[in-house]
Homo-oligomer: A and B are copies of this chain.
Amino acid sequence: MLSKALLKLIKSLEIKKFRKEYELFVAEGGKTVCDLINLNIEVEHIIATKEWLNNHKEIKNLNISEVSEEELKRASFLRTPQGVLAVFKQPKYDIDTTIPERELCLALDNVQDPGNLGTIIRIADWFGIENIYCSQGCADIYNPKTIQATMGAIGRVKIHYINLFNFLNNLKEKVNIYGTFLNGENIYNKSLENRGIIVMGNEGNGISEECSKIINTRLFVPNYPAERNTSESLNVSVATAIICSEFRRRF
């Protein structure tokens, strides 16, 4: 059974203010929920249908409510609930701003679409980028749409919200700060390092003027063939994927 109090808590977690206050977030679907549990993200509550629980007997010693399809539907943020929904504690970790001196990292400058943010986290995970630095204007990683798009990768990638300008400014003498611009250099021919920061910009406006000035390696993913009339740009998560693939291909 789904208690009124739990339903109310879950519903409140669709709103950033309450996620922040309670330091909790919601994940849905067997793959994501099980991945997060296996990655030791602390679980507060699980609500699941009988059928789902019967197929997942390994989930135990946890705070589980067996609910009807109807109850799950009432709690879920999805149009088609996927058998299970769980409330997790937001993991806490310290911000280490020296990581880009040793590893390749991503920085997101006002990436506002929760789906794009989630997709970028999944891409980062695939390409072994373990730290993402987000400007305060980015979407919230605990937005249910972001969590959904990460497909569990949120448990393996650390996301830090910071003042992006100050952060980049402090690093600019120490590492390469990469960014993509329509007048940047062809990424395929450019020498790339296995450390530093790749900055990705806002969906509509690209990288902010302020941060653009700090970027010391300006890249471009060429369209093909160069002279063909084409879309003006690539979606930010798509561009992130191509760039990460190009960095990792070299090593």
Task: Decide: B119 and A235 in contact? CB cutoff 8 A.
Answer: yes
Flag the segment in A56-64, A84-92, A225-233 that touches B. A225-233
Return the chain B residue nearest A249 by Cβ: B188
A223:B127 contact, CB within 8 angstroms:
yes
Chain B residues near A232 (CB-CB < 8 A):
151
- A228 to B103 alpha-carbon distance, docked (Å): 15
Q: Considering residues A125, A151, A223, A238, which has the most beta carbons from chain B within 10 angstroms of its beta carbon?
A: A238
Q: Which of A9-17, A205-213, A239-247 is the interface stretch? A: A239-247
A241 to chain B, nearest CB (A): 4
Closest to A130 in B: B228
A156 to chain B, nearest CB (A): 7
Q: A245-B242, A245-B246 are in contact. Are A128 and B234 (CB under 8 A)?
A: no
CB-based contact B125/A230 at 8 Å = yes
The interface residues of chain B lying within 8 Å CB-to-CB of A93 are none
Query: Please, how many residues of chain A have a CB less than 8 angstroms from a CB on the other chain?
Result: 36
Instruction: Name the one of B230, B242, B249 contacting A128, with C-beta atoms under 8 angstroms.
Output: B230
A30 to chain B, nearest CB (A): 12
Q: Chain B: which residue is nearest A251 at the CB level?
A: B224
Query: Residue on B with the closest CB to A250?
Result: B188
24 A-B residue contacts at CB 8 Å?
A115-B115, A119-B235, A119-B238, A122-B235, A123-B234, A125-B230, A125-B231, A126-B230, A126-B234, A128-B223, A128-B228, A149-B235, A153-B230, A156-B229, A188-B249, A222-B248, A224-B248, A224-B251, A234-B241, A241-B242, A242-B242, A242-B245, A245-B246, A246-B249
